[in-house]
Amino acid sequence: MIGTNWRGFRVIAWVGQALLAVFVIVAAFQGNWLNALGLACFLIVSLVFVIKDDRLPTLFDFLFVVAALLNAAGWVWGLFYSRFHLSEVQKNPTCTTRTLPASGEG
């Protein structure tokens, strides 16, 4: 059974970091400089977070990157303003990544 400290979560988080870097580049090529800046700042924070392997389980790294990727997809492709309500979908992983450390998990 996969636990909260499964090493695969960390590997998937690194793949997500690479995708987030691609989203930063795409936003910059689109000329959305504020979106690219916001995503780049979030990429830096998430890189520091994933590199700093301490008390939190690897599941939290995975959820943190999933929330970042959903937010990035909304910014890069304008999905927050489409008929598909991405903002409602992305709230669950974002809220989970905020409350997991407070729960004492890990």
Q: Mean pLDDT of all residues in the chain?
A: 77
> d(Cα 45, Cα 12) in Å, to the nearest integer?
17
**Is there a contact between 68 and 42 (Cβ–Cβ < 8 Å)?**
yes
DSSP classification of residue 81: G
Residue range 48-89, pLDDT digits in tens: 888 876 677 888 888 888 888 887 877 777 766 665 555 555
Q: pLDDT at residue 42 above 90?
A: no
What is the value of pTM for the model shown? 0.69
In percent, the amount of the chain with pLDDT more than 90 equals 15
* Per-residue confidence (pLDDT) for residue 106, from 0 to 100: 47
